[in-house]
Amino acid sequence: MKLIFFSSPSSHFKNPDWAERREIPAPIMDIETDVWLGRPENERKLVLWESFDIYGIMNDFFHTMKNPVLVDAP
């Protein structure tokens, strides 16, 4: 079961409602102290996907396993 959750970060491609999207200013790593430093003024943003809907993802997984759709390769 653990392996299924490794695919959770990409599950938002199938259904964006399965995770919450949050943007933050890109931090910078201080290599001397090995600490991430926040930069609230940074215009460059990172997108974080959080709070995955484990029930939606798992229900979709089991539904897909019970009802597979075969696709021809090009």
pLDDT at 31: 93
* Domain coordinates in residue numbering, the chain: 2-66
Is 80 exceeded by the pLDDT of residue 22? yes
How much is the pLDDT for 2? 57
Position 7 scores a pLDDT of 67
Looking at residues 36-49, what average pLDDT do you find?
Answer: 93
What's the whole-number average pLDDT of the chain?
86
Instruction: Please tell me what DSSP assigns to residue 59.
Output: H
In whole angstroms, what is the distance from residue 12 CA to residue 19 CA?
6
Tokens matching residue 16? 């964006």
The pTM for the full model equals 0.64
Query: Which whole number is the average pLDDT over 45-54?
Result: 88
Q: What is the CA radius of gyration of the chain?
A: 18
More confident residue, 3 or 15: 15
Query: Rounded distance, CA 11 to CA 19, Å?
Result: 8
Phi, psi at 69, each rounded to 5°: -120, 115
